[in-house]
Structure 1
Amino acid sequence: MASRRSARLASLVTNAAIVEPASPPAPSVASRKRKAATQAPATGETEKAPSTPRKRRTKGTDDVPETPTPAEVKLITEGAHTAKPRPAAVSRLADPNRTNAVLRSPKTSRIIASTAVEPIPSKLRDVIKSTVPATSATTTTTSLLEEACAHLIKVDARMKPLIDAHHCRIFSPEGLAEQVDPFEALCSSIISQQVSGAAAKTIKGRFIALFDPTSNSSSSSTTTTTTPSSEPAATADDVSASTPPFPRPDAVAATALETLRTAGLSQRKAEYIQGLATQFAAGELTGQLLADAPYEDVLARLTAVRGLGRWSVEMFACFALKRLDVFSTGDLGVQRGMAAFVGRDVARLKAKGGKWKYMGEREMEEVAERFRPYRSLFMWYMWRVLETDVSTMESWGW
Structure 2
Amino acid sequence: MPIRRSARLSAAAEAEALPEAIPPPQPVAQKSRKRKAGPSNPGEGGGSPTTAPELAGPSTPNKRRTKARTAGPPPVTPTPGNAKLFGEPVALGTTPKPKPAAVRRLADPNATNATLLSPETSRVVASKEVEFLSPTKSSGMKPTTANILDEACAHLIKIDPRMEPLVKANHCRVFSPEGLAEKIDPFESLCSGIISQQVSGAASKAIKQRFVDLFDIPTQVTTGRRFPHPSQVAATKLETLRTAGLSQRKAEYVQGLAEKFVAGELSAQMLADAPYEEVLEKLTAVRGLGRWSVEMFACFALKRMDVFSVGDLGVQRGMAAFVGRDIAKLKASKAGKWKYMSEKEMEEIASRFAPYRSVFMWYMWRVEETDVSTME
Same fold per superposition (TM over 0.5): yes
Quote the offset at 1:80 in angstroms: 3.6
Instruction: Give the number of aligned pairs.
Output: 304
How big is each residue's C-alpha offset from its partner over 1:258-308, in whole Å with a ceiling of 9 and x where there is no partner?
Answer: 111111111111111111100101111100000010000000010000110
Quote the offset at 1:114 in angstroms: 1.2
2-side partners of 1:154 and 1:27: how far apart? 70
Partner of 1:113: 126
Whether contact under 8 Å (1:81, 1:201) holds in the other structure is no
The list of structure 1 runs, each at least 4 consecutive aligned residues, that deviate by more than 4 angstroms after superposition, is 53-56, 62-66
Quote the offset at 1:61 in angstroms: 2.8
More helix by share: 2
Partner of 1:305: 286
| Structure-to-structure mapping, 1:350-369, within 5 angstroms | 350-352=331-333, 353-369=335-351
Answer yes or no: is 1:188 the counterpart of 2:192.
yes
Whether contact under 8 Å (2:331, 2:339) holds in the other structure is yes
SS at match of 1:383: helix
How big is each residue's C-alpha offset from its partner over 1:146-205, in whole Å with a ceiling of 9 and x where there is no partner?
Answer: 000000000000000100110000000000000100000000010000111111111101
Quote the offset at 1:56 in angstroms: 6.5
Partner of 1:223: none
SS at match of 1:73: helix
How big is each residue's C-alpha offset from its partner over 1:188-247, in whole Å with a ceiling of 9 and x where there is no partner?
Answer: 010000111111111101110011288xxxxxxxxxxx6x35xxx4xx4xx6xxxx7100
How big is each residue's C-alpha offset from its partner over 1:307-343, in whole Å with a ceiling of 9 and x where there is no partner?
Answer: 1000000000000000000000000000000011111
Q: Which runs of 5+ in 1 are unaligned?
A: 1-22, 29-52, 120-134, 215-225, 389-398
Q: Which has the larger radius of gyration?
A: 2
Q: Which runs of 5+ in 2 are unaligned?
A: 1-43, 50-63, 133-138, 371-376
2-side partners of 1:376 and 1:136: how far apart? 24
Letter in 2 for 1:211: F
TM-score normalised per structure 1: 0.71
Identity %: 66
Quote the offset at 1:58 in angstroms: 7.8
Partner of 1:315: 296
| Structure-to-structure mapping, 1:12-27, within 5 angstroms | 25=46
Partner of 1:67: 78
Whether contact under 8 Å (1:148, 1:377) holds in the other structure is yes
SS at match of 1:387: coil
Q: Does the C-alpha gap of structure 1 residues 164 and 373 become closer, same or farther in structure 2, counting only changes over 3 Å? A: same
SS at match of 1:280: helix
| Structure-to-structure mapping, 1:1-398, within 5 angstroms | 25=46, 57=68, 59-61=70-72, 67-69=78-80, 71-80=81-90, 82=92, 84-117=97-130, 137-212=141-216, 228=220, 233=222, 236=223, 245-352=226-333, 353-387=335-369
Letter in 2 for 1:61: G
Whether contact under 8 Å (1:118, 1:137) holds in the other structure is no
TM-score normalised per structure 2: 0.75
SS at match of 2:124: coil
Whether contact under 8 Å (1:60, 1:351) holds in the other structure is no
